[in-house]
Amino acid sequence: MKVGILGLGLIGGSLARAYALEGHSVFAGEKDESMLSFAMLAGAVQGKLDETTVPGCDLILLAIYPGGSAMWLEKNAFLISREALVIDCCGVKEEICRRCFPLAKQYGFTYVGGHPMAGSQFSGFKYSRADLFEGAPMVLVPPVYDDIELLQRVKDALKPCHFGAFSVTTAEEHDKIIAFTSQMPHILSNAFIKSPTAARHKGFSAGSYKDLTRVAWLNPQMWGELFLENRENLLFELDTYIDSLTAYRQAIADNREDALVALLEEGKRRKEEVDG
């Protein structure tokens, strides 16, 4: 299989390594020529993804920012084979699916929205690895929800990644849920570490501190774009969280142990309900 990958960051680089490891030919589009050269030396990439290699690709994976992925597809759609499958790996889905589904229909190839639920606080090709997606969930946004043949085709195309499970949803539902499960934790972590007390944490911090602050070390440009593309859903989650924090603060300020315990019990019970 000939695989085209747009972007050689953590996700794109890991995709390239996974496909190359299983003997597939990988062609990559990367604006940083030194990174592309390094990926080729590492054996993850065979050549450049350009007008000469795009037409021969059986699978194209878009692994840069949503806006950039959509722009690349708008520019290169006419080169893509009608037999090809295109999957984006972006963190939000509404905007990119709105732009890319019509392109696929116009030029005859197949496009499916995707979001691999795997990653790291570190970014860049040097942190990529072939087993990044091993056992991880993959969320799919197909053009038709119940096209079983298409879903099987996607699963077969993604086999080298060794995903653990696939979820199928709409772009709208994806973005609502991802605002809570992914985007909010990054904001909370990034805001939490700004406390002046953070500078004195060494020797006083354990697992809870490490868990909460791990993703504060993020890619600001990428996450900023994702947050703004999903701003309405993210604002809902932020407002909900601020309301909850305000209730905890009020109980502490009023020295109301009964109110504070009730809030803590409610949170514990909710955790049991949603996670078992």
- Average pLDDT in the 131-153 region? 95
- Average pLDDT in the 14-28 region? 98
Could you tell me the pLDDT band of residue 154, with boundaries at 50, 70 and 90?
very high
Contact in structure between 215 and 186 (CB atoms under 8 Å)? yes
Could you tell me the pLDDT band of residue 3, with boundaries at 50, 70 and 90?
very high
Could you tell me the pLDDT band of residue 120, with boundaries at 50, 70 and 90?
confident
Fold of 174-275: 6-phosphogluconate dehydrogenase C-terminal fold (1.10.3660)
Q: What order do you get walking across the sheet with 85-88 strand by strand?
A: 47-48, 25-29, 2-6, 59-62, 85-88, 110-116, 137-141, 165-168
One-letter amino acid identity for 229? E
Token pair, residue 212, equals: 């909460």
| One fold for 2-169 and 174-275 | no
**Average pLDDT taken over every residue of the chain:** 96
Each domain of the chain, given as residue ranges in start order, spans 2-169, 174-275
Whole-angstrom Cα distance, residue 222 to residue 51? Answer: 26
| Residue 20 CA: distances (Å) to CA of 26, 127, 251 | 6, 16, 56
Does the pLDDT of residue 121 top 80, yes or no?
Answer: no
Does the pLDDT of residue 276 top 90, yes or no?
Answer: no
- Average pLDDT in the 163-191 region? 97
Each residue's pLDDT tens digit, 60-87: 999 999 999 999 999 999 999 999 999 9
- Average pLDDT in the 40-64 region? 97
Cα–Cα–Cα angle for 216, 217, 219, rounded to 5 degrees: 110
Predicted pLDDT at 29: 97
Fold of 2-169: Rossmann fold (3.40.50)
- Average pLDDT in the 21-33 region? 96
Predicted pLDDT at 93: 97
Each residue's pLDDT tens digit, 225-255: 999 999 999 999 999 999 999 999 999 999 9
